[in-house]
Amino acid sequence: MASEYDLTPRIAPQLDRHLVFPLLEFLQDRGLYPEEDILKAKIELLNNTNMVDYAMDIHKSLYRSDDVPPEMVERRVEVVGRLKALEEAAAPLVTFLQNPNAVQELRADKQYNLQMLKDRYQIGPEQIEALYQYAKFQFECGNYSGAADYLYQYRALCTNSERSLSALWGKLAAEILMQNWEIALEELNRVKDIIDSKSFSSPLNQVQSRIWLMHWSLFIFFNHDNGRTQIIDLFNQDKYLNAIQTNAPHLLRYLATAFVVNKRRRPQFKEFIKVILNDPFLGKRVEEGNFASVPLRDEFLENARLFIFETYCRIHQRIDMSVLAEKLNLNIEEAERWIVNLIRTSKLEAKIDSETGTIIMEPSHANVYEQLIDHTKALSGRTYNLVSQLLEHAQPQIAR
């Protein structure tokens, strides 16, 4: 069953709870779990947010009743009251930010802006803090667009680096939830720059921040046009790859998927294979239960088959069709059709012997033994050049 390979229990703890909703929606659409279990999970997730109306709707759907628990009704009254109070507290600064003429008075210098707001508009630290709390509350209510705008404006005025980083994480989450992949990628890179340059109280905290960042990035990289390349650029960096291997080995599967569908990165893939030997890749069944890489499933399978076939072609001149079919996760008839199409659409020099059930390769390149001899010759030449350079460098020192 596909739920056996579901990575949600590993991924969800590394996400903001709002980012878990798309995962639950995916599981619900795929039918990996009973509908009732998914709805209960949604309600449990919503209990710690301000999305009370949404929780009420799910409760009605789950129990097939228009009645909702009294605590939900009380919670809604509390949320509405708190929202109004925060709106009033942030009103002076919000009014200023909504005035195009007034906003033109702001400069790149934060200290100047803070003094100007205080002198001309009687807006001080309390109103700026209120804007942050208002933005955060809007996010918890599910108003991601409003939250993103206010968090952006707050960061332009904030002088506290920790609070500014918190606001940046919030804006990143909001952009992901709105599926603004281009803007989300920009925010992701900003968070990365801070994580890599910031001085943490403990190295473990920095590692954990990288783990969070990589989990959040899955939403972006598997939806952004250039994401398949950028996930390799990020995850394959030593500091991030080390974090994956020690704290989140399941992320290797996403990196492997990106490598397989990205033909330009095949040279790097060969090195990466050494890393994943300790994490057996679950292939097709993983992809069917994987929220991020499902859109790439067909492309992944096709590229994986090509990679396996190319590997066999380099080693063997005669390939047993039944063995290859098993490796390609196809039956013999499907494998034969797949190979026939490959021969027709590429420059592959091969033919199928139906009587013996084999594929006969007609290599136009040197065999593996000839390649080994060539590599040895090249290595010998490079060694000779290196020794010559060392001797040339040593002679002047001996002369002294």
Question: What is the per-residue pLDDT for 285?
Answer: 45
Q: How far apart are CA 345 and CA 282, in angstroms?
A: 29
Residue 319 forms beta bridges with which residues? 359
Q: How far apart are CA 146 and CA 137, in angstroms?
A: 10
- Chunked into runs of 10 residues, the chain (400 residues) has average pLDDT values of 74 96 91 92 93 95 94 95 97 95 91 95 96 97 97 95 96 98 98 94 93 97 91 94 91 86 75 59 47 60 73 77 82 84 75 81 56 55 59 53
Question: What is the per-residue pLDDT for 329?
Answer: 80
Q: What is the radius of gyration, based on Cα positions, of the chain?
A: 29
Give the list of residues 6+ apart from residue 200 with CB closer than 8 angstroms, or none: 206, 209
Kindly list the strands in the beta sheet with 318-320, ordered across the sheet, starting from the edge strand earlier in the chain: 318-320, 358-361, 350-353
Question: What is the per-residue pLDDT for 80?
Answer: 96
Residue 153 to residues 76, 167, 268: CA-CA distances in angstroms? 28, 10, 41
Q: How far apart are CA 61 and CA 177, in angstroms?
A: 23
Q: How far apart are CA 322 and CA 335, in angstroms?
A: 9
Give the list of residues 6+ apart from residue 6 with CB closer than 8 angstroms, or none: 27, 32, 289
Question: What is the per-residue pLDDT for 343?
Answer: 77
Strands (E) across the chain are located at: 318-320, 350-353, 358-361
Give the list of residues 6+ apart from residue 345 with CB closer than 8 angstroms, or none: none
Q: Give the pair of three-digit tokens for residue 203.
A: 């190295």
Q: How far apart are CA 38 and CA 61, in angstroms?
A: 12
Torsion angle of C-alpha atoms 183, 189, 194, 197, degrees rounded to 10: -160
Question: What is the per-residue pLDDT for 268?
Answer: 76
Q: How far apart are CA 143 and CA 135, in angstroms?
A: 9
Give the list of residues 6+ apart from residue 244 with CB closer than 8 angstroms, or none: 211, 214, 235, 251, 252, 255
